[in-house]
Structure 1
Amino acid sequence: MSTRARVPLLLAAVLAAGAPAWAERPLSAIDWLSDSVAAPGPRKPPATISPVPGAEPITVVPLGTTVIDAVGLLPAQVTGLPRDLWGPGETQTIARAIRAERVDTLPAVQELLVTLLLAELDPPTGGGADGQLLLARLDKLLDLGALDQAQALVERAGPTAPSLFRRWFDISLLTGQEDRACSAMRANPGIAPTFPVRIFCLARGGDWNAAALTLETGLALGFVKPEEDALLARFLDPALAEEGDALPLPTRPSPLIFRMREAIGEPLSTTTLPVAFARADMRSTAGWKARIEAAERLARTGALAPNELLGVWTERKPAASGGLWDRVAALQAFDLAILSGGPEAVTDTLDTAWTAMVSAELEVPFAQLYGPRLARMKLGGPAGALAFRIGLLSDEYEDIARSREPQTNEEAFLVGIARGDLQGLPPLGSLAAALQDGFDQPALGSGPSRLIEEKRLGEAILAAIDLVTDGAQGDILDVTRGLGLLRQLGLEDVARQSALQLMLLERRG
């Protein structure tokens, strides 16, 4: 009996038993997540008691229960953040603030945000459903393209809840671990896959007949959309992909659509997709050009370490010229000069390599790789001045500043920022004046001041991130308030690095 002939029998059985849980409407999350699991029923809220009339209710949690929102990867001794950073804040308010954070900001602020997202912190005591803060943190990591960190975080929490599994499944699709995700789905009866995911996993497991039968059933029940049917049919039958016209481009592809399009020979370019999709191009099966473009996108958001970026840049010699290839050639020439240790070779290649990094907005990864070594070479003239500025963008900025005798008023101002002391330095324009004010205990405004008074320090850090980000877009007053808030919160290193980046990077306006 053919697959299509057998469908009515299975369909009748399904209708008689009622639609399964995995056929229901999926959960909502960030827009491009796959509809991989069906929505569960309402959860029973934890029991609460109010011992005193009018008092705040006390949440009762069974002993041994893991508090999901407290899960993190970085302990307090690593981050330097107190465990009660969220204080009496409300979970939903904090989750909204995290989701609203922009990823196109200064590298120092990006790093602070990632630290906050990965930190082991006690959940806020102001109330809210457990797990919502973790979901917001995961979604922001996905926005940054930090899939490895997000995967480690969700695995630490345990991807057993549908909302967590949905994110873990999509991360697995983009990192090439879809077979592992499908195996986990089969082993966890509490996870109810939607029809497209069930079909995909059946096919990945080699059960093509069951996958085809499930597709027909889902289509008949209305749980598979016509456009999904066209893609799934080609995924199950390669002959259809070879004979038919190319499928129209999806308006909002999910990781599942992305992987199936790749499987049928109609891959989607990741350059116009959210940065998380760039992680798929980091696999060894991707071409070198695609790997370079992906690595650079991820490095801009801090999702890829500078050494990993260097590894991709130096995999082989460029076989072409122009655009990206000129940048790679300039970087490789400079890297060889650094390795040779010859000051003359470094001087000859530094300016070209730096210009290439500026055009790609990769100055900070470049500085992390080479800044300290350049400083130790004690180059003279214009090359020495450039090497000094590059070194100030590295983590060793303070030591580099102390070892430099300023040659200009601007260098003296940069040294003052690096040392956290701008007293008595001549003004160098509106931005420099705003930075000076930021280091001189400025008024913070009622909002941030209230957050500090109420010990909602995590929200105050998010507010500081917003202010510095707005300041980098041209709002001078926000520069002053943002730096002042960071310093009052004890984040002196972040404040100094942010100020240096505002002075040295073309990120304003």
Structure 2
Amino acid sequence: MALLAGPAAAQQADIDLSGLPELGTPDWLSDAITRPHANVASDASVPEITVLPLDTIQLDAVGLLPATITGLPRGLWGNSDIETLARLMRGQPVQGLPAMQAFTEVLALAELDPPRDAPPEGSDLFVARLDMLLDRGALDPAQALMERAGPTQPDLFRRWFDVSLLTDHSDRACATMNANPDIAPTFPARIFCLARGGDWSAAALSLGTGEALGRITEDEGDLIARFLDPELFEDEPPLPPDPTLTPLEFQMRMAIAQRPDMTGLPLAFLYADLSPLAGWRAQLDAAERLTRSGAIAPQEWIAIYTSQSPSASGSIWDRVAAVQALDAALLAGDPVETSRRLPPAWAAMQEAGLEVAFADIYGERLLRMPLVGEAGILARRVGLLSPIYEQVAQSAVAQDETERFALAIARGLPPEATNSPLDRAIAAAFARDLPPHRYSLFLEDDRLGEALLRAALVLARGGTESDVDDLTDALALFRVAGLEDVARRTALQLYLLRV
């Protein structure tokens, strides 16, 4: 802390919370369950104190990644206000600097002690962690997190039900709903599950009842009727596009072979397009978008990219062809052909915003290839954006000013700053004597996790939209907190992705 003392440290990192999402639910979730009388008191007596068993799960403490993997202290949330943490978690961008996307996902999945003022039964922080993952389309980790916690509470079950629909586990979702007496399905959800279970007559009866009671809108009724008996509507025009689809409506449209246009739909819906049944073009589009958001691993993206040979040209097909040509050259062990194929493949990845995913896949393979000249410099740049950046730095000799700056960052040394404001901001964060920064008061008040979320918002926007002093402070915080690898990868991405 002595390093952080000083006049500049007295200023807190005041991220404007007015621009962050209010507490609530994503507007694309299905209205799958209902509790129509939950807000009506049954008597006027004073409620009794709730006593929880010793083995009750504390939702805010549930995670998938233990401290031995994350390296984060268990008491990361400390004294922070729960609502502030939840809004900061929901406010993390869907797409941003890859290092920050990865770090905030680790925060969402980490096993951490609840904030000190968290109620024993859990708070909105756990749901906010889920919503951040769902908004990015990271359905698998979100589903695993909910199943670790047990999706018995209505707000958790609603999300788990929708994720199950989007990951093609509808039967399991319906079986769980039917087996849980505490979950009251809405009419559309009940009808869907009755039909999935083969009870078509009961589903049709529920449709009529729901419409008579006003629990099913006209548009919902039209979709459900087609879902229950599509042959009756063979001569009818298809349903009009609906940009506000829920996962339940999405599944019904898919079942009647009226696949919605994915353009503009939330990323969570794209998971359905990762299946080979969706067609290769749809797979490619979904893989690119979900990789940019950090929802799927680069290995899953490249597996789709190299699964077939492009039969057309232009746009995404040119990117696929460029990467496949490089991949073939690397497999053949041909340095001349690799040198020829690397620049167009890199340009294609810059166009798609997939440079870091590309580096994760090809950084080490390029390092093993004896490339010289411009191809060698480009291969080292790719390597510096990959997880083996430190290994690249240890074996490389800088060939120009850009490399010299990047290699210093990769080694954790203070680089020589240029006239660029961004370069000076990064260099200041890697100075031998760390400068005072505005997050000191958060650390003194035991609010490290909140400080990291605020800093992540600054860094995720990248160097073009953030004040350079803010960048220095945010990078310095990660270094002081012992997250040196995150700081270096973030700085390398800030620097190399703009040059």
| TM norm. shorter chain > 0.5 | yes
Supply the distance in 2 between the matched residues of 1:46 and 1:456 (Cα, whole angstroms).
33
2:6 aligned residue: none
Aligned-partner residue type, residue 113 of structure 2: D
The 1:306–1:470 alpha-carbon spacing in structure 2 relative to 1, beyond 3 Å, is closer
Contact kept, 8 Å, 2:79 with 2:447, in 1: the verdict is: yes
Matched, 1:86 2:82: no
Instruction: Pick which of 356-365 and 436-445 moved more.
Output: 436-445
The 1:163–1:45 alpha-carbon spacing in structure 2 relative to 1, beyond 3 Å, is farther
Aligned-partner residue type, residue 201 of structure 2: N
* Match of residue 37, structure 1, among 11, 33, 36: 33
* Match of residue 176, structure 1, among 168, 171, 178: 168
1:70 aligned residue: 61
Supply the distance in 2 between the matched residues of 1:156 and 1:361 (Cα, whole angstroms).
33
The 1:323–1:114 alpha-carbon spacing in structure 2 relative to 1, beyond 3 Å, is same
Supply the distance in 2 between the matched residues of 1:39 and 1:251 (Cα, whole angstroms).
27
Aligned-partner residue type, residue 371 of structure 1: G
1:324 aligned residue: 316
The 1:261–1:434 alpha-carbon spacing in structure 2 relative to 1, beyond 3 Å, is same
* Match of residue 459, structure 1, among 450, 460, 474: 450
Q: Find the residue that maps to 1:102 and give its secondary structure.
A: coil
The alpha-carbon deviation at position 426 of structure 1 amounts to 4.6
Matched, 1:244 2:236: yes
Give per-residue Cα distances to partners, 1:254-274, cap 9 Å, x unaligned.
Answer: 111111111122211223211
Q: Find the residue that maps to 1:472 and give its secondary structure.
A: coil
Matched, 1:225 2:217: yes
1:434 aligned residue: 425
Matched, 1:368 2:364: no
The 1:39–1:330 alpha-carbon spacing in structure 2 relative to 1, beyond 3 Å, is same
* Match of residue 108, structure 1, among 85, 91, 99: 99
Supply the distance in 2 between the matched residues of 1:200 and 1:458 (Cα, whole angstroms).
42
Alignment of 1:39-54 (within 5 A): 39=35, 41=38, 47=49
Alignment of 1:121-140 (within 5 A): 121-128=112-119, 130-140=122-132
The alpha-carbon deviation at position 93 of structure 1 amounts to 2.1
1:346 aligned residue: 338
Supply the distance in 1 between the matched residues of 2:307 and 2:233 (Cα, whole angstroms).
34
Q: Find the residue that maps to 2:382 and give its secondary structure.
A: helix
Q: Find the residue that maps to 2:234 and give its secondary structure.
A: helix
Supply the distance in 2 between the matched residues of 1:351 and 1:181 (Cα, whole angstroms).
47
Matched, 1:357 2:353: no
Q: Find the residue that maps to 1:285 and give its secondary structure.
A: helix
Supply the distance in 2 between the matched residues of 1:45 and 1:504 (Cα, whole angstroms).
59
Aligned-partner residue type, residue 486 of structure 2: V
Supply the distance in 1 between the matched residues of 2:68 and 2:48 (Cα, whole angstroms).
31
Alignment of 1:121-200 (within 5 A): 121-128=112-119, 130-200=122-192
The 1:62–1:439 alpha-carbon spacing in structure 2 relative to 1, beyond 3 Å, is same
* Match of residue 443, structure 1, among 436, 439, 448: 436
Supply the distance in 2 between the matched residues of 1:295 and 1:226 (Cα, whole angstroms).
35
Give per-residue Cα distances to partners, 1:86-112, cap 9 Å, x unaligned.
Answer: 112232221121111112211001110
2:15 aligned residue: none
Aligned-partner residue type, residue 75 of structure 1: P
Aligned-partner residue type, residue 30 of structure 1: P
The 1:470–1:294 alpha-carbon spacing in structure 2 relative to 1, beyond 3 Å, is closer
Contact kept, 8 Å, 2:101 with 2:460, in 1: the verdict is: no
Instruction: Pick which of 374-383 and 34-43 moved more.
Output: 34-43
Matched, 1:488 2:461: no
- The count of aligned residue pairs is 467
Supply the distance in 2 between the matched residues of 1:101 and 1:142 (Cα, whole angstroms).
12
Give per-residue Cα distances to partners, 1:214-255, cap 9 Å, x unaligned.
Answer: 011011101101110111111111123312222222241111
Aligned-partner residue type, residue 360 of structure 2: Q
Contact kept, 8 Å, 1:175 with 1:279, in 2: the verdict is: yes
Supply the distance in 1 between the matched residues of 2:485 and 2:443 (Cα, whole angstroms).
19
Contact kept, 8 Å, 1:470 with 1:479, in 2: the verdict is: no
The 1:106–1:470 alpha-carbon spacing in structure 2 relative to 1, beyond 3 Å, is closer
Supply the distance in 2 between the matched residues of 1:330 and 1:316 (Cα, whole angstroms).
13
Contact kept, 8 Å, 1:467 with 1:481, in 2: the verdict is: no
1:292 aligned residue: 284
Supply the distance in 2 between the matched residues of 1:428 and 1:334 (Cα, whole angstroms).
36
1:56 aligned residue: none
The alpha-carbon deviation at position 329 of structure 1 amounts to 1.1
Instruction: Pick which of 291-300 and 244-253 moved more.
Output: 244-253
Supply the distance in 2 between the matched residues of 1:105 and 1:413 (Cα, whole angstroms).
23
Contact kept, 8 Å, 2:422 with 2:463, in 1: the verdict is: no
Supply the distance in 2 between the matched residues of 1:256 and 1:426 (Cα, whole angstroms).
54
Alignment of 1:203-218 (within 5 A): 203-218=195-210
1:255 aligned residue: 247
Aligned-partner residue type, residue 120 of structure 1: E
Give per-residue Cα distances to partners, 1:35-58, cap 9 Å, x unaligned.
Answer: 00113736999948xxxxxxxxxx
Supply the distance in 2 between the matched residues of 1:279 and 1:471 (Cα, whole angstroms).
27
The alpha-carbon deviation at position 428 of structure 1 amounts to 4.7
Instruction: Pick which of 260-269 and 78-87 moved more.
Output: 260-269
Alignment of 1:13-32 (within 5 A): 29-32=25-28
1:417 aligned residue: 409
Supply the distance in 2 between the matched residues of 1:231 and 1:327 (Cα, whole angstroms).
38
Supply the distance in 1 between the matched residues of 2:277 and 2:129 (Cα, whole angstroms).
30
Contact kept, 8 Å, 1:219 with 1:225, in 2: the verdict is: yes
Structure 1 residue ranges without an equivalent (≥5): 1-26, 49-59
Supply the distance in 2 between the matched residues of 1:94 and 1:102 (Cα, whole angstroms).
15
Q: Find the residue that maps to 1:377 and give its secondary structure.
A: coil
Contact kept, 8 Å, 1:471 with 1:478, in 2: the verdict is: no
* Match of residue 302, structure 2, among 306, 310, 330: 310
Contact kept, 8 Å, 1:388 with 1:400, in 2: the verdict is: yes
Give per-residue Cα distances to partners, 1:433-492, cap 9 Å, x unaligned.
Answer: 1111222323322xx222111111111110110121244342222211211121122211
Supply the distance in 1 between the matched residues of 2:181 and 2:251 (Cα, whole angstroms).
24
Contact kept, 8 Å, 1:410 with 1:428, in 2: the verdict is: no
The alpha-carbon deviation at position 178 of structure 1 amounts to 0.8
The alpha-carbon deviation at position 355 of structure 1 amounts to 0.9
Supply the distance in 2 between the matched residues of 1:315 and 1:46 (Cα, whole angstroms).
61
Supply the distance in 2 between the matched residues of 1:145 and 1:309 (Cα, whole angstroms).
14
